[in-house]
Structure 1
Amino acid sequence: MRELFVGSRTAAGEDGQPHRFEYYVLIGQMEVGGHFACESYGVKVREAGGETAAIPDLTVNTERIDSLMELLTRNTVGPAGVRDVVDDWL
């Protein structure tokens, strides 16, 4: 699986301290029908010096993964919240 760095965002946490999050698109392969494979996309969010959350194989559509990454970065979603956002997005 490959990772494509999308960008980073910094936001103040509840403790008032800055937290820096890095966003990645995960690129893998998904088997289709036993004889074919297609590229699949997922997301990874990492807090600098902290926790990481990765969710592979969310879609095979590049426009959908771009939309999700824009949503995550615009709202500065951290690793703890990424699963909830993805569940709502699906």
Structure 2
Amino acid sequence: MRELMLESPQGCAYRYAILVDEMSVGGLSCESYGVKVTGPDGDWEAVPNITVSTGRIDELAELIRRNQVSPVTLRDVIEDWL
């Protein structure tokens, strides 16, 4: 799994990353994408394998970054987004 770090908004205490992993679907292998949020005290939450679409993960990552989503609320935001 790789992490692609995103630039945090100015004054934001959280760090954001897109997770890139391999996923097997019906015998085929493809890249899947998820997100990770790390707080200033080192606490973090990650949700892998959300989508295989680069456009969709970019939309989600921008939503999370722009709204300064914390590790505690990450899963709720993703469930609402889906």
Can you give the 5+ residue segments of structure 1 that lack an aligned partner in the other structure?
12-19
Of Structure 1 and Structure 2, the greater strand share is in 1
Aligned to 1:16: none
Number of residue pairs matched by the alignment: 81
Give RMSD over aligned pairs: 1.0
- How do 1:55-70 residues align onto structure 2 when only pairs under 5 Å count? 55-70=47-62
Q: Equivalents in 2 of 1:78, 1:57: separation in Å?
A: 19
Can you give the 5+ residue segments of structure 2 that lack an aligned partner in the other structure?
none
TM-score normalised to structure 1 length: 0.85
Aligned to 1:22: 15
Greater C-alpha radius of gyration: 1
Identical counterparts, % of pairs: 51
TM-score normalised to structure 2 length: 0.93
Letter in 2 for 1:29: E
